[in-house]
Chain A
Amino acid sequence: DTEVTQTPKHLVMGMTNKKSLKCEQHMGHRAMYWYKQKAKKPPELMFVYSYEKLSINESVPSRFSPECPNSSLLNLHLHALQPEDSALYLCASSQAGGGNQPQHFGDGTRLSIL
């Protein structure tokens, strides 16, 4: 069982749809992350929130919009995605940011763009 919960587990959407991915953790962690992982590739960092503020945006296209409503929740809003955006989207959390804390990953949302 994972302590980071992501919903939905699977999502199929058209290129004109708007959808959101959700992530929740109750470990009291103050840093939360979104990663994108293509098949047989490593996770690629997209966004980092530290103390509910966006601290890193790795030049992600604006069709991906993150949101951190509170310290336990992290959303990723999707709009006008492209087929190449199909991937596994992983949420992670750590006690603090900075890259020197273990990251706890959720099971991910497997996204398919038609």
Chain B
Amino acid sequence: GQQVMQIPQYQHVQEGEDFTTYCNSSTTLSNIQWYKQRPGGHPVFLIQLVKSGEVKKQKRLTFQFGEAKKNSSLHITATQTTDVGTYFCAGVFGGANNLFFGTGTRLTVIP
């Protein structure tokens, strides 16, 4: 069936180091969204990417959508302790009309 996998599953970084999570779909996505969920919290929308090859930046966060629209990445520069949480990508498969969440990457930042 259709799947959205994220790697790595877990990542521990020293504060100030960079972090990247990768999102891979088994089929083409019409769009992809990224959410952050803090421990004990709820998912919070970060960004949406729609176009092939699209790159968007939010301060220290850089989001990319692959040329084939089957993968995406989130890169955080110089992590801070406030970046702790689980980052989910969520995509819409072509022809579908609902979001399918990826498996998530749990980020721990060591002060």
Residue ranges of A at the interface with B (Cβ–Cβ < 8 Å): 2, 40-45, 48, 55-56, 90, 92, 97-100, 102-108
Residues of A within 8 A of B33 (CB): 102-103
Are B43 and A100 interface neighbours, CB within 8 A?
no
The B interface, classified by DSSP as helix, strand, loop or mixed, is: strand
Residues of A within 8 A of B43 (CB): 43, 90, 92, 103, 105
Are B45 and A100 interface neighbours, CB within 8 A?
no
Alpha-carbon gap, A29 to B102, bound state (A)? 24
- Interface locus among B13-21, B56-64, B93-101: B93-101
Quick check: is B48 within 8 A (CB to CB) of the other chain?
Answer: yes
Interface band, chain B:
20 to 34
Residue ranges of B at the interface with A (Cβ–Cβ < 8 Å): 30-31, 33, 41-45, 48, 50, 88, 92, 96-104, 106
| Chain A-chain B contacts (Cβ-Cβ < 8 Å), number | 55
Alpha-carbon gap, A40 to B103, bound state (A)? 9
Are A100 and B103 interface neighbours, CB within 8 A?
no
Alpha-carbon gap, A102 to B50, bound state (A)? 12
Alpha-carbon gap, A22 to B103, bound state (A)? 27
Residues of B within 8 A of A102 (CB): 33, 45, 48
Are A106 and B45 interface neighbours, CB within 8 A?
no
Partner of B97, one of A44, A97, A107: A97
Are A99 and B101 interface neighbours, CB within 8 A?
no
Instruction: With A99-B96, A99-B99, A102-B33 as known contacts, state yes or no: A42 contacts B44, CB within 8 Å.
Output: no
A66: min CB distance to chain B, Å: 14
Are B98 and A42 interface neighbours, CB within 8 A?
no
Instruction: With A42-B102, A45-B99, A56-B98 as known contacts, state yes or no: A100 contacts B42, CB within 8 Å.
Output: no
